[in-house]
Amino acid sequence: MQFPPELKYSKEHEWARIQSNRAVIGITDYAQDQLGDVVFAELPEVGAEVAQFGRFGTIESVKAASDLFSPLSGVVKAVNKKLEDHPELVNQDPYGEGWMLEIELADPGQADKLLDAEHYQHTLPSE
């Protein structure tokens, strides 16, 4: 499994790629692997506010449905519309084409509450 070192991670298995006052958000390679084949993603509208560790949507797979939690607070500036027709992108490329939201950060300091790749990996069950 991959855990890019430039990203920040939440214990709820979401990641954030922070660039200046914005962050792109998605689910981790571990999360997509646990879900299995993703068939649907319910995401917020552009302009919606998301709260750190608050629910922002749902992802459904052939195995289960799971809530999505934002690693950071902010206003949604973009949503990955490709996921409407191609939800499998979450499985194929969770850190690239499978991204979910881009937000404008309400408080960039919240990133300090997130984990780096090494610490995130330590939260995962041992196999």
The boundaries of the domain holding residue 67 are 8-108
Residue 34 falls within a domain, yes or no? yes
Gap between the Cα atoms of 35 and 49, Å rounded = 26
**Structure-token pair, residue 106:** 């309400």
Cβ atoms of 70 and 52 within 8 Å: the answer is: yes
Cβ atoms of 110 and 73 within 8 Å: the answer is: yes
> In this structure, what CATH number is given to the domain that contains residue 40?
2.40.50.100
Residue 117 falls within a domain, yes or no? no
Residue 122 falls within a domain, yes or no? no
Residue 2 falls within a domain, yes or no? no
pTM of the model: 0.94
Residue 115 falls within a domain, yes or no? no
How many domains does the structure of the chain reveal? 1
Cβ atoms of 14 and 41 within 8 Å: the answer is: no
Gap between the Cα atoms of 78 and 65, Å rounded = 23
pLDDT in tens, the chain (127 residues): 889 999 999 999 999 999 999 999 999 999 999 999 999 999 999 999 999 999 999 999 998 899 999 999 999 999 999 999 999 999 999 999 999 999 999 999 999 999 999 999 999 987 5
* Rg of the chain on CA atoms, in Å: 13
How many degrees, rounded to 5, is the angle at CA 110 between CA 109 and CA 116?
100
